[in-house]
Amino acid sequence: MTEQTSEHTEDSVRADVRAWLKDNWDPALGLVEWRLKLCDSGWGAPHWPKEWYGRGLPVKFNTVVDEEFARIGAVGVAKAGIRTLAAATILAHGTDFHKQKFLKRILTGEDTWCQLFSEPGSGSDMAGAVTRADKQGNKWIINGQKVWTTSAHKAQWGLLLARANWDVAKHKGLAYFILDMKQPGVQVHPLKQMNYHASFNQVFFTDAVVEPEMMVCDVGDGWTVATTTLMHERRGADGLRTWAQATNRQGRIYDEERAEIATTMAPYTWYPQRAGRVDLVMKRAEETGKINDPVIRQEIAKLLCMSKSSEWTARRARAAQNLGRPQGPEGSLGKLASSHVARQAARVHTYLTGSDALLSGKDSPMDGVIAEILVSVPATSIAGGTDEIQRNIISERVLKMPKEPSVDTNKPFKDVPRNIVSS
Amino acid sequence: MRFSFSNEQEEFRSSVRRALEARSPTTEVRKQMATEAGFDREGWKKLNQELGLTAIHIPEAYDGAGFGFGELGIVLEEMGRNLLCAPFFSTAVLATTAILNAGTDEQKKALLPKIAAGEITATLAFSEDSGLNDAASVAMTATPSGAGWKLDGAKSFVLDGQTADLIVVLARKPGSKGEDGLSFFTVDAKAAGLGRTPLKTMDETRKMARLTFKGVDAKLLGAEGGAAAPFAKTMQQIIVCLANEMVGGAERLREDALEYVKMRMQFGRSIASFQTTKNKAADMLVDVEMAKSAAYYAAAALDENDDDLPAVASLAKATAAEAYLQTAIHAVQMHGGIGFTWDNDTHLWFKRAKSSEILFGDANHHRELMMKNWKH
């Protein structure tokens, strides 16, 4: 990526983007029409390379650019969903053909993406994928099943991790493809969750076809590429929940943006509940009169201690990052801390709600929001890396503790014991 | 709000850490904790004057260094980490904050330069035999006597009460109740009628005394009958300071336990390679880092006079109390049998964790205070 740190300052970037917006921003434009201007100018993704719709600016200037957009209510490029992971992966590992074909349509929001990594037989052990990629002529033929696929039913393209060589060790036999989701060999079915929502899908491949130019890397490098995608997923996990504040502004472009947000965010309506809704606790405690119960006061206080400490830990990590200091341990704890907060919040909501917590749906407290909290919180400690995996990551990467002896990484994958679920 | 330490603060931390590591290895801690005084007066005077420790947060007008709670917190965190046996908390935190919050300019000019220069040690006596930490439970009486006052009653759980040269005392007008009629006084340790009995403490690195007052001459500190507000402010500052000391100790326990499990071999492999050990180590890191965040935030809140202060101070103390003790429990467990022996150092911090948990109000007490003071 082109770095131009020496030539740019916060003030100069602010002046540049402000001048450009003054000349170009027009809420009467169509959403895609406007975003094409952003692609041409590079202001939609200023940290991307100049040759690929960016301006090659250091990522730290994104805040300044975002502020200037927000100041006048200018709409940005499409930023939510798996498309951002696709873009990051393609920028890092894709060919010029991939960049040419996909990046612009990612920024304009014309294409929707999904991530085909997890399988019924490989959750935490994602490198144990058994979806097959077999070469026939110059094409790849895909068979198998993926799961937990957000937006698969809307997606044009999928980021696919599949096994192309069974005679080498687990991590060595994986390939990474871009899969056309709109083909007869791909079937998508919603997956109903314990909280009634169906935010994810199961995706079945029966002789699905991948053209040779849609391979992102050589067989054997699939895991490395997948790691890039996952790294961006973890980094963006917090942003996702706060993204997409639809504005009330009037105009064609805003209507189109609102529709896009509604579609993109549809699977996430219960995500605030999944985190435990700490924001509702004090109000509920007062409304229910439980604020006067000394035992419940202790439980509320425990929750507030956790949630504030967790928030301040994240602020510490960000402050260190802004100063350009190496990441300290405080940067790795957020996910685990959020599980603790969510569980304690669910406990407190139960105490506050009493017998009404036996009910669900519209007749239950807060139109079912409380009930939804109680049955959504278990997802927090599983989704995006279980608490157990987080602890392993912390202990191995931050605390430099040794790995458990491995029984599956040094033999041909075909000889590794595995679940009997697919292919 | 400030969320990171400046480069200067980080350098300051390093220099304090280096000095304490050199002067206060656990051999020295064990030596001092076995004495009645609990510290080596000459050694402490030298270290204090070299680093200017008791001057840190005394304003320059009173010959101090004029730093804030951020810097004081750094010193305390490093002392908690090294279990320094010295009357620092009693002198620089308890007595100094009480004098700063309650004293007149003239009194500060008379008292603080001596503390800043390390010429005298001092403490604050507020708890009595009930062990309660609130102003309302103070029973000691102060009656006017000539130009001064006479104190009668008893104080207990007084940090370094057996060695302090100057004792700041919270007492009340006879017949007054609750937060009314409370005043601060200063008492010379050599005053007639003052009895000082060292208490045998569970945490031997934290010395305490019971003090009896029989018509002891005292000087009024600040306004007569006006101690309730400065005492409340002092308590907030004290618990934030203690929380910062505690996270330093918790971090040290965590690091030492981690180092031990990496070295300890069982079943043909390092016990640090077992997931059950790794999970515990990860949880300890979460606990300690969260408690550090709360302690640092509260110190910054003191420096910025934040509106949420009373609640935030209690939050920091409650969080540090849970984290330090839990870390200590895990640390003993991770050491196994050897962790329960006298010769292993873990118990020194375990006991400090326990004493810190209780001192100035336990986690339940502070959670309730936090709820009372929570603004929403």
Give the start-to-end residue ranges of the domains of chain A.
276-379
Q: Please tell me whether residues B161 and B253 are part of one structural domain.
A: no
B181: domain CATH number is 2.40.110.10
Same domain flag for B173 and B112: no
In a domain, B220, yes or no: yes
**Joined tokens for residue A359:** 């009910």
B112 and B146 co-located in one domain: no
Nearest-angstrom CA–CA distance, A355 and B356: 39
Q: Tell me what the pLDDT averaged over chain A comes to.
A: 91
- Kindly report the pTM of this predicted structure: 0.89
Residue B1, in any domain of the structure: no
First to last CA, chain A: 41
Q: In sequence order, what are the residues at sequence separation of 6 or more whose Cβ sits closer than 8 angstroms to the Cβ of residue A79?
A: A243
Is residue B185 domain-shared with residue B213, that is, in the same domain?
Answer: yes
d(CA B225, CA B138): 13
| CA–CA gap between residue B67 and residue B78 (Å, rounded) | 16
Give whole-number Cα distances, A257 to A68, A80, A109, B135, in Å. Answer: 18, 12, 10, 59
- pLDDT the model gives residue A365: 94
* Domain count along chain B: 3
Q: Which residues of A touch B277 (CB under 8 A)?
A: 401
Contact A176, A230 (CB under 8 A): no
Residue B2 is assigned to a structural domain of this protein: no
Among A316, A332, A395, the strongest candidate for a mutation testing the B interface, having the largest count of B CBs within 10 A, is A395
Among the partner-chain residues B281, B291, B370, the one whose CB lies closest to the CB of A301 is B370
pLDDT of residue A242: 40
* Per-residue confidence (pLDDT) for residue A239, from 0 to 100: 42
Q: Looking at the structure, do residues B50 and B159 belong to the same domain, yes or no?
A: no
Q: A248 — phi, psi (to 5°)?
A: -100, 10
**Mean pLDDT computed over B245-252:** 98
Which pLDDT belongs to residue A260? 86
Give per-residue pLDDT as tens, B153-206. Answer: 999 999 999 999 999 999 999 999 999 999 999 999 999 999 999 999 999 999
Same domain, B200 and B233: no
Q: Tell me the C-alpha to C-alpha distance, in Å, between residue A107 and each of A66, A77, A230, A244, B127.
A: 15, 5, 20, 15, 65
Match 């975002």 to its residue by tokens.
A66
Q: Which residues contact A243 (CB under 8 A, 6 or more apart)?
A: A79, A80, A265
Domain stops at, among B75, B97, B121: B121
Task: Decide: residue A32, CB within 10 A, 0-12 exposed, 13-18 middle, 19+ buried.
Answer: middle
Determine how many CB atoms are found less than 10 A away from the CB of residue B19: 17
The answer as to whether B139 is a domain residue is yes
- What mean pLDDT value characterizes chain B? 97
Q: Which of B190, B208, B225 is the last residue of a domain?
A: B225
Query: Does residue A390 sit at the B interface (CB-CB below 8 Å)?
Result: yes
Residues 6+ apart with CB under 8 A from B322: A305, B287, B291, B363
Say yes or no: B328 and B269 in one domain.
yes
**Residues of chain A contacting residue B319, judged by C-beta atoms under 8 Å apart:** 305, 309
Q: How far is A405 from chain B (nearest CA, A)?
A: 8
CA atoms of B198 and A226, how far apart (whole Å): 65
pLDDT at B258 over 90: yes
Whether residues B149 and B253 share a domain: the answer is no
Q: Which helix (H) or strand (E) holds A421?
A: none
Q: Would B82 be classed as within a structural domain? A: yes
Query: pLDDT over 90 for what percent of chain A?
Result: 74
Are residues A404 and B274, on separate chains, in Cβ contact within 8 Å?
yes
**What residues 230-259 of chain B have any CB closer than 8 A to a CB of chain A?**
258
Taking the Cβ of residue B319 and every Cβ of chain A, the question of whether any pair is shorter than 8 Å is answered with yes
Q: For residue A421, what pLDDT band results from cuts at 50, 70 and 90?
A: low
Q: How close A298 gets to chain B, by Cα (Å)?
A: 6
The answer to whether A159 touches A166, Cβ cutoff 8 Å, is no
pLDDT confidence tier of residue A230, bands split at 50, 70 and 90: confident
- Rounded to the nearest angstrom, the minimum Cα separation between A282 and chain B is 8
Task: State whether residue B184 is helix, strand or coil.
Answer: strand
Any domain includes B210 = yes
- B65 located within any domain: yes
DSSP A76-130: -----STHHHHHHHHHHH--HHHIIIIIHHHHHT---EEEE--BTTBSS-GGG--
CA angle A342, A346, A351 (to 5 degrees): 150
Residue B169 placed within a domain: yes
- B277–A399 C-beta distance less than 8 A: no
Q: Domain residues for B32?
A: 7-121
3-state secondary structure of B124: strand
**Residue B272 C-alpha, separation from nearest chain A C-alpha, in angstroms:** 6
Of B78, B98, B121, the domain-final residue: B121
